Structure formats: structure tokens, C-alpha cells
Structure 1
Amino acid sequence: MIFFDIDATLLDHDKAERLAAIDFYKKYSVELVCSKKDFVDLWFALSKKYFEKFLSGEVTFQEQRRLRIKDLFGRHLNDQQADDIFNYYLVLYKRNWSAFEDVIPCLKSLKQKGIRLGIISNGDYQQQIEKLENLAIKHYFDHIITSSEIGVAKPNPIIFQKACLLANAHVHKSYYVGDRLEADAIGSKQAGMIGVWLNRIGHKTTSSVQVIHSLTELTLIETK
């Protein structure tokens, strides 16, 4: 069985977030008082900072969204005001969702070979389902596992092992494909799976995990 990450593996998350941040800046540039480039960099930094707090259980999924907005506009905002502003960004973000060009050809090829496919993703279950549905690829996956359901996040080995258990798949015969070396490839390998690093950018590494640069290479891997 082959499990996949979603963001930056199937969905071009960085592109969607960057385009949404630029459009968001156009609306709020007066209040933000910074350059467009500085804002985009700041938005990515805040996104990473507070999403990691969500993954560690320090804040809820909704709270990490509110905190991003309050850091930008001031802590004087109440929760509803922060929610309203973030919801505007969310519309822009969803508008820019798109799959990488190699995604659907890869998934089709693997399914035609009779290989079972699944998802293991950090994040909120409902939002991850929405992404898969929006990209029109949800039907390829037999099992969709997220950290919000399991209670732990990658690279914790429990989420990988629990996913295999729920999918009735042997851990040592299951593959995990993701764009992050540590959290995805190494994390899944340490859990007993076959970790595959999707290194789209071509970063150099001395890691012992399998490395591919496009999902088209995944169709050449012999699975059992």
C-alpha cells in the first residue's frame, strides 16, 4: 500500500498560499504598513509558527488561525473579528488550490496496477477532505488519516503505524510519500514503513531514504 502526504505533495500548497497572501495584502495594505514581499514572508512565518502549535496540541485548529490574524492586526481584535478576516483569506486560498501536474497521472497508473492508496496528513480532517474533493482525487484513496483524528502528528511514529493498522496494511510493506525529508520520509521510515522523499526542488541529501523528484518516478517502484 502507498500512503501520501497532501500539502506540497499532491496540492501545490506554497503556490496557493503565496497567491492568496498577495491578494490578501492588496485588501489590507494600509493596515499592514509593510511591503508586499515583507508581508508574504511574514505570513508564511506566522503560518508555520502557529500551525506547529496546533500540531503540538497547544492551540486548536481555529485558534491558530485567529492568532495569525491577531499578530498581524493587533490583539485588540475579538475572536469574531479575527475569524472574519481569516475567512476572507481562506476564500482566496481555496480559489488557488491546484494539483501538481504529475498527481493524477500517477494516481491513475497506481490504481490501474491494483495498488491500494491512502493519505496520512497533518492537519484538520475536514479541511484535508475538502482539498482532496476540490482537486477531484478523493476517490483514489481507500483510507484518509489525519493528525486531528489520531491525536498525534508526523513525524510521531504512532500516526504512521495507526494508519497502517486502520488500513489493514503491513507497516514494513507500506510506502509513505511526502515532500518533507524529516517529517515524512525519515519519520515514516522510523515507524517501520518505506519512506520516499518527494524532492521536487532537488535539495541535496545524504539520507538513506528513497528519493524521487516527480511522482512519475513512483510508478516505477515495485510494490508488494
Structure 2
Amino acid sequence: MCLDIDDTLLDNEASSRQALRALVGNDGAWPVWRRTTEEHYARFVEGEIDFDVMCTERTRAFFAAFGEHLSDTEAARREDVRMAAMQRAWGLFDDARPCLDWLRAAGLRLAVITNAPSDYQRKKIAAIGLADAFDAVVISGEVGVAKPDAGIFAAACARLGLEPHEVAHVGDRLDTDAVGARDAGLRGIWLNRAGKRRPAPEGVHVITSLRQLPELLVCDLEPAGA
């Protein structure tokens, strides 16, 4: 079983909103921050800029959207404030630990697949108490490819010692996680926490909580005739 981290196990939106409140006093500009993050994080995932540069440029672009143009030094200072607040707010979803405990009790080998820089994501995994929860941790910054590229899913399967068709992957992004996993030969599962009204493509399973994952694995993903 493979799992995403951010907004799958860790409530990244909650910690990011808390960080935005620390930065500007409230989270009313969340839609602007989220859009700016999507634009800049895509550049990081594509390898155009490194993570630290991405963070500073994102913060500068966010304030520029409201007419405030920051120097490099001031943008970096504000990003440091935001990042410290976010790290203090990191926490798991309520359904994450019980799901991981069930998966482990069921005898499944577990891996993380995440698009992130190595040191940052390993620090995050340790901070939320999951340093020893997985048999493999597969990070785009270490393997050189990112979801939805089939290569990162193949790397996870290899580290688990399993073939792709023997592995399921769950994540909060339909295209990046579920469809990417499906196209790489795994069982793709979309964790649609927000209940978005978006049809899932053929071959993709949908859950709205990790509490539903055990039943899905036992019933819907059980081989025919088992």
C-alpha cells in the first residue's frame, strides 16, 4: 500500500492557513495564496527552481498580488515567519493513524510517495510521528521524478518488493495520485476529502475518508474469485 502525505495523511491546508494567519493576521486571502502556491510549486516539481527559491518567490508573488513589492531580504524574512508557523501547526488528520494501524495489522507493506524536497519532507514525516511507519519513503527530490510520472510509482513498488498490480496508492489529487498510479499499473485510489463533484475516470476508486480504505481494500480490490 502506498500513500501520499500532504492533504492525505497530514492536514496541509489547516497548517498552511495557520501559517497565512501568522503572516498577515487572517486567512481571508487563502484563495490567492492557494493559487500562487499551485503556480510556483509546479515550477519546483518540474525542476525549474529549487524549493527554497520557490518558497521565497511564492511569498513575493503573493504580496505583489496586493500591490506590495518586497525586496529579496524582506521576502525571505516573511517566508521564514510563515514557514515556522506552518511547521508548528503540522498535524495528522483524525483518520490517518487508525488507517495506518489497520494497514499494518493487516500485514501490508507500506510506502509513502510524495512530491517534495528530501530534507523538508523527511523532517515533516518525523515531526508528525511517522518516521517508523513505513517500509519505504519515496520522495521526488531523491528519485529524480515526480508524480504522476510512472517512474516514481515503479520506484516505490521496487522498494516494497512487489509488482505494480500488487500495490494500491491513495492520495488527495485525482490526476497526480490516482490516475498517475493507475497509469503506472497500480490500483489508483482518489481520497476526495472535499467531496468534489468530479467523475472519476475508469479504473480509479474513490473514497472520502481514510476510514473507508479498509473496506475498499477488503471488498472492492479483492481479486475476483478470492
Q: TM-score, normalization: structure 1?
A: 0.88
**What number of residue pairs does the alignment pair up?**
213
Q: Which residue of 2 aligns with 1:127?
A: 120
Looking at structure 2, the residues matched to 219 and 203 of structure 1 have their Cα atoms a distance apart, in angstroms, of 22
Q: Which residue of 1 aligns with 2:214?
A: 219
Cα 1:22–1:142 change in 2 (3 A) is same
Q: Which residue of 1 aligns with 2:55?
A: 65
Looking at structure 1, the residues matched to 69 and 23 of structure 2 have their Cα atoms a distance apart, in angstroms, of 19
Looking at structure 1, the residues matched to 180 and 70 of structure 2 have their Cα atoms a distance apart, in angstroms, of 40
The 5 Å alignment of 1:201-212 reads: 201-204=194-197, 205-208=199-202, 209-212=204-207
- 1:158 correspondence with 2:151: yes
Q: Which runs of 4+ in 1 moved over 3 A?
A: 73-76
Q: What amino acid maps onto 1:66 in structure 2? A: T
Q: What amino acid maps onto 2:7 in structure 1? A: A
Looking at structure 1, the residues matched to 185 and 103 of structure 2 have their Cα atoms a distance apart, in angstroms, of 22
Contact 1:174 1:193 in 2 (8 A): yes
Structure ranking higher on relative contact order (CA contacts 8 Å, 6+ apart): 1
For residue 36 of structure 1, report the CA deviation from its aligned partner. Answer: 5.5
Deviations 1:62-110 (A, max 9, x none): 11012113322666623x4433221110011112111111111111111
SS in 2 for 1:120: strand
Identity %: 31
For residue 137 of structure 1, report the CA deviation from its aligned partner. Answer: 2.0
Q: Which residue of 1 aligns with 2:71?
A: 77
Q: Which residue of 2 aligns with 1:32?
A: none
Contact 1:104 1:137 in 2 (8 A): no
Q: TM-score, normalization: structure 2?
A: 0.87
Deviations 1:104-157 (A, max 9, x none): 111111111111111000011222222221211221111001111111211111
Q: Which 10-residue stretch deviates more, 202-211 or 89-98? A: 202-211
Contact 1:22 1:40 in 2 (8 A): no
Q: Which runs of 5+ in 1 are unaligned?
A: 27-34
